[in-house]
Amino acid sequence: MKHKNGEIWEFENNVNNTTGGVEDAHSDGGVILGLDGGTTSTICICMRVLPFSSSSKLPDPIPILARAVAGCSNHNSVGEAAARDTLEQVMAETLVKAGAKRSAVRAVCLGVSGVNHPTDQERILNWLRDIFPSHVKLYVHNDAVAALASGTYGKLHGCVLIAGTGCIAYGFTEDGQEARAAGAGPVLGDWGSGYGISAQALTAVIRANDGRGPQTMLTNSILQSLGLSSPDELIGWTYADPSWARIATLVPLVVSCAEAGDQIANRILDDAVQELALDVKAVVERLGLSGPDGNGSFPVVMVGGVLEANKKWDIGKEVTACIQKTYPKASPIRPKVEPAVGAALLAWNSLMKETSKLS
Amino acid sequence: MKHKNGEIWEFENNVNNTTGGVEDAHSDGGVILGLDGGTTSTICICMRVLPFSSSSKLPDPIPILARAVAGCSNHNSVGEAAARDTLEQVMAETLVKAGAKRSAVRAVCLGVSGVNHPTDQERILNWLRDIFPSHVKLYVHNDAVAALASGTYGKLHGCVLIAGTGCIAYGFTEDGQEARAAGAGPVLGDWGSGYGISAQALTAVIRANDGRGPQTMLTNSILQSLGLSSPDELIGWTYADPSWARIATLVPLVVSCAEAGDQIANRILDDAVQELALDVKAVVERLGLSGPDGNGSFPVVMVGGVLEANKKWDIGKEVTACIQKTYPKASPIRPKVEPAVGAALLAWNSLMKETSKLS
């Protein structure tokens, strides 16, 4: 439990039980940290350990003690050192707010984007072991796994579909097999993502302007929204800052044009629906989630701005319909808690399993 | 003719006629500078002014006095100051090699990528006026225009299709109207480009691996060529350095797989052919190049690695066939000189016109 950033944890000297803090994991069950680390932001929550009962029924609302937010913790984006600093600081801040020391922590579960390989996982686990006491259970996953757990309340079963700036489908069988589809970024064809939808809308405007494609309402809608006077200026706008998130912000304009009857915008959204449903179907097939007769039930957790768009043209609803055409018993879930809470519930679920094995 | 980089031109003090140099534009007709400035490299050539005759017949080979090569001169890529330094240095180096002073120059024609707007043109012209004596005729165009002129020996008429890392179609009517299509980069859907073909091949590998698409020979071919052991590693490879040119290098692998009968690779190339032909058709339609009955003759100049691929699966040949289905009298040209020579011939052509007007 040595660490170079010792000063981050100095607050622990001032924490004691009389201030309402949670000092000892054994005195009252202790706490769990759940973390959702993405490319845009990192969210950490601290949850009191829930009593383990055979029914595993969860209290509503989940008893969150504290929550803290930080920036990017994807090591592919900011480098390993900066990603670790962000992770450590946001965990410490969460414990400060909860008035709890590391000795009160029973488990930590990190869902971090950019964790794509067992070696990524192992590196972060080794680093966490230096920060937390040896009794603390540590879990590291891709952030998609935390999103799945946010819909299943900590149970790793079913498939999650995330469609925000990017998109990915990630699934687990009850016996722990996993599979993913998409999540490979725009160069590698994540066309159902917010970026994918927006890039196709921009392309449609350029094609209409060149005379290579039909006219579309997207032209006026996008130019007006970006404050540009001609489609030629889109080239400069696009490459001045080609960040995926900036381009993905155009999705609501595509939805509005589609609702207004624009055929091009409708075709772009229809294609995105097919792509997103295909991401899920690929995972379901590889894991056999629908059972041997293809008629089994399994959860499909739907997360992200593209699927949440609460509009007449409801992308999430269309994706669900498309999935259920193939798997009638697929059971869509819109999570009521955020992925960081999903991560904490995942840790709680794992703790519970280990405890029941011991008893 | 003041300029901050005066030292670049100090060589002129050592040039005189007795060393075989060309000092005075009036003594022997003088010289022309032609420049092709791209994102990868910049090429400048110095040509002796050809005699103006009514037949305008060009000598073969074109009498090139000197040639120099430098790096990127696209101001969008390296900034305006660096782009100008590159342009000035490569022009000076060419004149050094030709043994000619600026006073011997009759005309300068720059075809520079990133020149997309009259204001871009005007800025570069103003800067050139400070470098060259006032008698020098100055011309600035997009680099596609120099490529067109390389196929038409300086005449601005017809359409050029360039397909290398990127792609663009650019055309002129005989009375000076111009139009372009594509050339907007990968985010904005230049799918017929080398980048576009390669990105679709990478996407096909990811889809096959996910179970979202059919198996393809591209998987083994690309992984082996990049020294990777699994398709998952393509994500890291792609985003470690997402430069367009690096990704575009995969085109020959796609062609090989298509020649070996791979259906996915064949479909990617078929789609690219349709896209590239559509770029040309859009320009031809907007300019009315095929005449009122659609049966007129016009040159289509074909330039760039994607079109030059001298393989059994010949993309350029297929594009030509596709264009000629719509315009039977479209006349394909593979230039015998490079675009920098095209730029020089363009300047020569313009000089000739101005001279014939005066006489």
- Residues above pLDDT 70, as percent of chain B: 93
Answer whether residue B70 shows pLDDT above 80. yes
Q: Which residues of A touch B202 (CB under 8 A)?
A: 187-189
The whole-number pLDDT of residue A18 equals 44
pLDDT band at B6 (very low <50, low <70, confident <90, very high): confident
The whole-number pLDDT of residue B25 equals 44
Asked if A313 and B241 touch (Cβ cutoff 8 Å), the reply is: no
Answer whether residue B224 shows pLDDT above 70. yes
Chain A: closest CA distance from residue B3 (Å)? 30
The candidate with the shortest Cα–Cα distance to A206, out of B278, B119, B267, B201, is B278
* Angle of helix A194-210 versus helix A251-259 axis, rounded to 10: 60
- Cα–Cα distance for residue pair A250/A253, rounded to 1 Å: 5
How does DSSP assign B300-329, residue by residue? EEEESHHHH--SSS-HHHHHHHHHHHH-TT
**pLDDT per residue as tens digits for the range B257-266:** 999 999 999 9
The candidate with the shortest Cα–Cα distance to B289, out of B111, B117, B169, is B169
Answer whether residue B31 shows pLDDT above 70. yes
Answer whether residue B4 shows pLDDT above 70. no
**Spans of chain A, pLDDT less than 50:** 1-2, 18-20, 24-26, 54-55
Q: Helix or strand or coil: residue A217?
A: coil
Residue B180 φ then ψ, to 5°: -135, 160
- Cα–Cα distance for residue pair A209/A223, rounded to 1 Å: 12
Chain A residues touching chain B at CB-CB below 8 Å: 76, 116-117, 180-182, 184-189, 199-200, 202-203, 206-207, 210-212, 232, 234-236, 238-239, 242, 247, 278-279, 282, 285-286
The whole-number pLDDT of residue B18 equals 43
The whole-number pLDDT of residue A19 equals 42
CB contact under 8 A, A189 and B206: yes
CB contact under 8 A, A187 and B181: no
CB contact under 8 A, A239 and B211: no
Beta strands in A57-202 (DSSP E): 64-70, 105-112, 137-141, 158-163, 167-172, 178-182
CB contact under 8 A, B189 and A182: no
Which helix (DSSP H) or strand (DSSP E) does residue B282 occupy? Answer: helix B263-287
Asked if B154 and B160 touch (Cβ cutoff 8 Å), the reply is: no
The interface predicted TM-score (ipTM) is: 0.88
The whole-number pLDDT of residue B3 equals 57
Q: Helix or strand or coil: residue A237?
A: helix
**pLDDT per residue as tens digits for the range A111-150:** 998 887 788 899 999 999 999 999 999 999 999 999 999 9
- Cα–Cα distance for residue pair A32/A9, rounded to 1 Å: 17
Chain A: closest CA distance from residue B42 (Å)? 22
CB contact under 8 A, B187 and A116: no
Chain B: closest CA distance from residue A195 (Å)? 10
CB nearest B206 (choices: A188, A202, A232): A188
State how far the alpha carbon of B114 is from the alpha carbons of B29, B74, B120, in Å.
32, 5, 8
**pLDDT per residue as tens digits for the range B131-158:** 999 999 999 999 999 999 999 999 999 9
The whole-number pLDDT of residue A218 equals 98
Q: In chain B, whose CA is at the least distance from the CA of A168?
A: B210
